[in-house]
């Protein structure tokens, strides 16, 4: 299906010329004499790209651009400007326009910018469809990722979920171990039965025993009634033991017995109770190292580690950051009844440059906070947490700070990329004469 392009220009001759040229290139091109008629058409069927004149009768180009961006579509807008409209063109780019074309138009330049804009649309659409495929078609609704590392994790989840064996999930805090456990349960034959979760850290042995195994009435002071433990309540389903590396050694012995015998004995009880459960354990520790140190039982380690799923840190799959950020943006915009639709390229680059020691959980927290405080439709660098802004030109993993020359060179490169290589617009944004920009480009060897 050909890409749909709208040309919004009140000059009939220019509009017809662009429609004919783009139609010859294989696009479905349609002209509109004003913004109102275009917006009416766009409300019924979206366009992939728009060539939008700044000066229009009625609603002007900037107002129309805001309306297009408010629709939340993947449409890219190229502004058409006159010689005296350069400042307005810069404003349009800040509002989300892809680029601008200056009259008189050159068809070669038009074709080049249209191809670039549609390439961006295609990439955004591909990412969205891929995200939907990974989250919906695979059954991994709450997990997002397109990196090779996460594809391997998704494939392992799909392969092992139907098999009722124990699984050990290893990964740093915030990498999504609980999400993997729930996905394994949701894709398993046990999906209609209980999913029971217990965090093994921060509890006494007595409390862990009572919570996991339950107790009989009168088993200890305060046991006024019989209580069913989590292992028993998870019968037929899945029991998720988070932070298994925190479990005391004596309780590890009891858990090993449960796994071997497939039965439990309530605290204070005398009659064993048969169990039908699948155990999924998770840890942020290296359990093999803990075994070597004598802090974790080797026999329990091998009982739990039938299949091992290792989750990468977010810094090891940075290509997933845009997908995750937009996933959390959609989630919290809906939750907080906000109209935040996008993340500015510079803000996204800042997120890409950050090391995320807190992994996916930290990224979610940053986006949640930012959406809660943002009153615009697009998140910019100024909306991100201040400590993150201050790291813009610094190393995020303990390396040396950048020199002023490196900062200047990097910033010029960013602005050049954002303006599509336009030296005039780059100089305008940087606030320097074109001659100064030319000297800096030569000095930094960016020509």
pLDDT one-digit tens code per residue, 101-110:
888 888 888 9
Which of 26-35, 186-195, 241-250, 429-438 comes out lowest in average pLDDT?
Answer: 429-438
Summarize pLDDT for 51-71 with one digit per residue, the tens: 999 989 999 999 999 988 887
Alpha carbon distance 239, 231 (integer Å): 7
For 315-389, which CATH class?
mainly alpha
Of the ranges 100-104, 268-272, 286-290, 434-438, the best mean pLDDT one: 286-290
- At 136 the pLDDT is 41
The average pLDDT across 208-219 equals: 83
**pLDDT tens readout for residues 173-189:** 999 999 999 999 999 99
Report the residue count for the chain: 447
Q: What mean pLDDT do residues 31-48 have?
A: 91
Look at residue 308 and tell me whether its pLDDT is greater than 90. Answer: yes
Long-range contact set of residues 379-382: C-beta below 8 Å, sequence gap at least 24: 379/329, 379/340, 379/342, 379/343, 379/344, 379/347, 380/344, 380/346, 380/347, 381/344, 381/346, 381/347, 381/350
Residue with tokens 């209609």: 192
User: Do 253 and 303 form a contact (C-beta atoms < 8 A)?
Assistant: no
Q: Give yes or no for a contact between 240 and 212, defined as CB atoms under 8 angstroms apart.
A: no
pLDDT at 142: 66
- Read off the pLDDT of residues 421-435 as tens digits, 9 standing for 90 and up: 788 888 877 778 888
Superfamily classification of domain 148-312: P-loop containing nucleotide triphosphate hydrolases (3.40.50.300)
Q: Note the pLDDT of residue 406.
A: 67
Pick from 133-142, 156-165, 354-363, 416-425: least confident: 133-142
Q: Which two tokens stand for residue 220?
A: 């200890």
Q: What is the mean pLDDT of residues 248-261?
A: 92
Specify the pLDDT at position 353.
86
Tell me the domain boundaries of the chain: 4-131, 148-312, 315-389, 404-443
Q: Is 404-443 CATH 1.10.10.60?
A: yes
Over residues 397-409, the mean pLDDT reads 59
pLDDT at 27: 92
CATH number of 4-131: 3.40.50.2300
The answer, yes or no, to whether residue 393 has pLDDT greater than 70, is no
Q: For residues 82-106, give the mean pLDDT.
A: 82
Average pLDDT over residues 220-226: 74
CATH topology of 4-131 equal to that of 148-312? yes
Tokens of 187: 């894709």
Query: Would you say residue 164 has pLDDT above 50?
Result: yes
Q: What is the pLDDT of residue 408?
A: 76
CB atoms within 10 A of CB 59: 16
Per-residue pLDDT at 196: 94
CB distance 268 to 220 below 8 Å: yes
Confidence band of 397 (pLDDT split at 50, 70, 90): very low
pLDDT at 137 (0 to 100):
42
Which of 203-212, 232-241, 265-274, 418-427 comes out lowest in average pLDDT?
418-427
**Do residues 174 and 366 lie in contact, with contact meaning Cβ atoms separated by under 8 Å?**
no
Q: What is the mean pLDDT of the chain?
A: 85
Q: Is the Cα dihedral 250, 251, 255, 261 positive or negative?
A: positive
Mean pLDDT value of segment 190-203: 89
Q: Could you report the per-residue pLDDT of 370-387, keeping only the tens digit for each?
A: 999 998 888 888 888 887
Band of pLDDT at residue 139, cut at 50, 70 and 90: low
In sequence order, the 6+-apart residues with CB closer than 8 A to the CB of 314 are: 174, 175, 320, 321, 324, 356, 359, 360, 362, 363
pLDDT at 307: 96
The predicted pLDDT at position 400 comes to: 45
Residue 128: pLDDT over 80: no
């Amino acid at each position: 299906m050909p890409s749909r392009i709208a040309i919004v220009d009140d000059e009939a001759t220019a509009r017809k010329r662009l429609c004919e040229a783009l139609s010859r290139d294989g696009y479905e091109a349609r002209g509109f004499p004003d913004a109102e008629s275009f917006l009416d058409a766009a409300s019924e069927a979206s366009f992939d790209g728009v060539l939008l004149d700044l000066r229009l009768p009625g609603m002007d180009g900037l107002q129309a651009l805001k309306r297009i961006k408010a629709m939340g579509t993947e449409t890219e807008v190229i502004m058409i400007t006159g010689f005296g409209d350069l400042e307005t063109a810069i404003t349009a780019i800040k509002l989300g326009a892809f680029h601008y074309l200056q009259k008189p138009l050159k068809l070669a330049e038009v074709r080049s910018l249209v191809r670039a804009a549609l390439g961006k649309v295609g990439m955004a659409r591909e990412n969205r469809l891929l995200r939907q495929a990974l989250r919906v078609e695979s059954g991994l609704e709450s997990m997002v990722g397109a990196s090779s590392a996460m594809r391997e994790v998704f494939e392992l989840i799909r392969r092992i979920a139907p098999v009722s064996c124990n699984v050990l999930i290893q990964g740093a805090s915030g990498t999504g171990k609980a999400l993997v456990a729930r996905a394994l349960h949701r894709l398993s034959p046990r999906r209609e039965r209980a999913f029971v979760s217990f965090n093994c850290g921060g509890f006494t042995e007595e409390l862990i025993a009572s919570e996991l195994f339950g107790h009989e009435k009168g088993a200890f002071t305060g046991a006024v009634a019989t209580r069913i433990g989590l292992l028993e309540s998870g019968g037929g389903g899945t029991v998720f033991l988070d932070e298994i590396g925190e479990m005391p050694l004596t309780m590890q012995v009891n858990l090993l017995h449960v796994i071997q015998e497939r039965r439990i004995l309530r605290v204070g009880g005398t009659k064993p109770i048969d169990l039908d459960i699948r155990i999924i354990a998770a840890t942020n520790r290296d359990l093999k190292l803990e075994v070597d140190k004598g802090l974790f039982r080797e026999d329990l380690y091998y009982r739990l580690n039938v299949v091992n799923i290792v989750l990468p840190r977010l810094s090891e799959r940075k290509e997933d950051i845009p997908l995750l950020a937009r996933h959390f943006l959609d989630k919290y915009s809906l939750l907080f009844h906000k109209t935040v639709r996008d993340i500015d390229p510079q803000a996204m680059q800042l997120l890409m440059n950050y090391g995320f020691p807190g992994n996916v959980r930290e990224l979610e927290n940053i986006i949640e906070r930012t959406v809660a405080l943002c009153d615009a439709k697009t998140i910019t660098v100024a909306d991100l947490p201040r400590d993150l802004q201050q790291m813009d030109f610094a190393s995020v993993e303990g390396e040396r700070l950048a020199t002023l020359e490196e900062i200047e060179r990097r910033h010029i490169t960013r602005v050049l990329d954002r303006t599509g290589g336009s030296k005039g617009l780059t100089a305008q944004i940087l606030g320097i004469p074109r001659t100064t920009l030319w000297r800096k480009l030569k000095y930094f060897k960016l020509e």
